[in-house]
Amino acid sequence: LGPSGVGKTHLATSIGIAAAKNRNSTYFIKCHELIQHLKKARAENRLEARLKHYRKYKLLIIDEIGYLPIDQEDAKLFFQLIDMRYEKKSTILTTNVNFKQWDEVFQDSKLANAILDRVLHHATVVNIIGDSYRIKDHLDKEND
């Protein structure tokens, strides 16, 4: 959890690489891409197979939750995946949105609470505070 550019994706990727090196099946995907895959699978009547695909990984990393809007129907797809993995497999989520604002991300407070309930139950939350690594050099040059 943290603002853009503070290293959330870098940290999640590093954990994923370590997991893979220890022979744990690992999959990394951006949240928007995940939602698009699930929507396409639903339209093609293959949703169950696609959910099983994402369920099989010992570690699933879902990057950038909240960067792009998720409508209520898409939020239901996301919930199904989280619910399938709950207490069975490990999931890393990265987000720039405080958990109290997830009802805005998922456009449904009940669904957001159900997702958070499962996600946070056994979670370790890493809250990263700071300025973007990508723009700090530019800001430092402006101050010179």
Q: How far apart are CA 32 and CA 19, in angstroms?
A: 23
CATH homologous superfamily for 8-140? P-loop containing nucleotide triphosphate hydrolases (3.40.50.300)
β-pair partners for 26: 59
pLDDT tens per residue across all 144 residues of the chain: 999 999 999 999 999 999 999 999 999 999 999 999 999 999 999 999 999 999 999 999 999 999 998 999 999 999 999 999 999 999 999 999 999 999 999 999 999 999 999 999 999 999 999 999 888 777 666 665
- 122 Cβ contact partners less than 8 Å away, ≥ 6 residues apart: 87
So what's the pLDDT on residue 41? 98
The domain limits of the chain are 8-140
